[in-house]
Amino acid sequence: MNALEKKAVVNTEKPQEQASARGRVLVLIDGSKMSYAALTAAAGIAGKRNADMLGVFVEELNLVRSAGYGFSREVGSVSGISRPFDPGILEQRMRRLADHARVALAEAVKQRGGRAALSIARGHVIEEVLALAGPDDLLVLGRAGWSSPAGARLGSTARRLIRQAPGQVLLWCEQRLPYQKRVVVFLNDHEEANHRAALAAAEIARHYCQPVTVILETDGEPAADQIEAIRQDLDVIGPGTRLQILSDTNPLTVARVLREERASQLVISRECALFNAPGAEELLAALSLPVTVTP
């Protein structure tokens, strides 16, 4: 049997289940363009879910401390020019960023409706976020990156949060190619995780009016009951759904499948074998599309 075997299953029934209003939508704002793009996306989701928004702005302690040294200098990420870096400059910049975050959050909420709050804390980003996020919350963050191309790199904060966050994490990235038009969800043999991932994919598909491709990872022939469970999930997802069975979790194969499917968004569960496969992080880093990681 080939490593990749395609099976198309078209679900013609209408979705029976609406995503219920769940917890808050947390969005991590660090002043970068990517974080503001994530804020816009988060506001859209919150509007659809009718959920509250919580902007999280963390003044990274290590950064604050590093500005305290008299010899500290900041090297520009684009120009490479080195210039003095002192607490006064940093404080001023932090305040400006926080103010800007507040305004941006208010703007985003004003457009989409709903309530929003901004949490400003000083500490370590991951700890502060984990302290705020609950299992029902959706955490939205932009891919932090050192440099171009935008969103191509997965920052260390993002890497840790997608693994450690108690609930769903949406790793946002601005889409570049207009012909990407399918939501791809990876499923495997963990039934509950599959269901959660399927629900998330269904919500995204509805939000963006795009069909879903379900990719089932399995070592051999999938069991009949497994197929049946997935079919039930497909009913949830909605019409136009396609099912593919993939027996190879090599990140390169996955990347090719995603290209072939013209994936616009990816949904994957932390329980999924692919997520824990070696090279998965590099794959996520290389993908230029929003990724939703479900528990």
Partner 1 sequence: MSLPTPLTAEQVYHQCPLDQLDFDTTDALKDLDLPFGQERVLRALEFGASMRADGFNLFVLGPAGAGKHELVERFLAKHAEGQPVPSDWCHVHNFDFSDRPRAIGLAAGQGRQFKKDMSDLAGELRTAIPATFESEEYQARLQELQEEITKRQQQSLFDIQKEASANNIAMITTPAGFTFAPMRKGEVIDPEDYKSLSDEEKALIESKIEELQKKLQQAIQQFPRLRKELRERSHTLNEEMVQLTLGGPINELREKWRHVPAVVDYLDAIREDVVEHAEAFQDSEKGPPNGLLDRYKVNLLVDNAGTSGAPVIYEDLPTHQHLAGQIEHRARQGTLYTDFTLIKGGSVHRANGGYLIIDARRILSQPMAWESLKRILFSGEIRIESLERLYGLASTMSLQPEPIPVSVKVVLLGNRMLYYLLSQHDPDFLDLFKVEADFEDDLNRDDESYGLYARMIATIARQLKCRPLGRAAVARLIEHASRLAADQRKLTAHDRVLRDLVSEADHWANRSGTATIEVEHLQQAIDEREFRASRVRDQSREQIARGIVMIATEGEALGQVNGLSVLRLGASMFGRPTRITATARPGKAQVVDIEREAKLGGPIHSKAVMILSRFLASRYGGDGELSLSASLAFEQSYGGVEGDSASVAETCVLLSAISRLPLRQAFAVTGSMNQHGEVQAVGGVNEKIEGFFEVCRGAGKVRGQGVILPATNVEHLMLNSEVRKAIADGDFSVYPVTHINEAIELLTGMDAGEADEKGKFPLGSFNRAVASRLRRFAEASKKQGGRKGSRERPGEESRG
Give residues in contact with partner 1 (CB under 8 A).
Answer: 30-32, 60-63, 65-69, 71-82, 85, 90, 93, 97, 144, 146-149, 152-153, 178-179, 256, 259, 286
Among 147, 145, 94, smallest CA distance to 122 is for: 94
Residue number with CB closer to partner 1 (46 or 94)? 94
Q: How far is the CB of 75 from partner 1 (least distance, A)?
A: 5
For residue 292, give the DSSP letter.
Answer: E
Residue number with CB closer to partner 1 (60 or 189)? 60
Residue number with CB closer to partner 1 (182 or 270)? 182
Q: How far is the CB of 232 from partner 1 (least distance, A)?
A: 34
Residue number with CB closer to partner 1 (99 or 219)? 99
Q: How far is the CB of 66 from partner 1 (least distance, A)?
A: 3
R_g (Cα) of the chain, nearest Å: 20
Q: How far is the CB of 180 from partner 1 (least distance, A)?
A: 11
Residue number with CB closer to partner 1 (163 or 256)? 256
Q: How far is the CB of 200 from partner 1 (least distance, A)?
A: 27
Strands 212-217 vs 182-187: parallel, antiparallel or unpaired: parallel
Residue number with CB closer to partner 1 (152 or 277)? 152
Grouping H, G, I as helix, E, B as strand and the rest as coil, residue 66 is helix
**Dist CA 215 CA 218 (whole Å):** 10
**Dist CA 12 CA 14 (whole Å):** 7
Q: What is the DSSP string of 9-60?
A: ----SPP--PPPP-S-EEEE--SSHHHHHHHHHHHHHHHHHT--EEEEEEEE
**Dist CA 167 CA 107 (whole Å):** 26
Per-residue tokens: 265 = 């968004």
Grouping H, G, I as helix, E, B as strand and the rest as coil, residue 269 is strand
Q: Where are the beta strands (DSSP E) in 203-252?
A: 212-217, 242-246
Residue number with CB closer to partner 1 (121 or 152)? 152
Please name the amino acid found at residue 135. Answer: P
**Dist CA 38 CA 32 (whole Å):** 10
Q: How far is the CB of 107 from partner 1 (least distance, A)?
A: 20
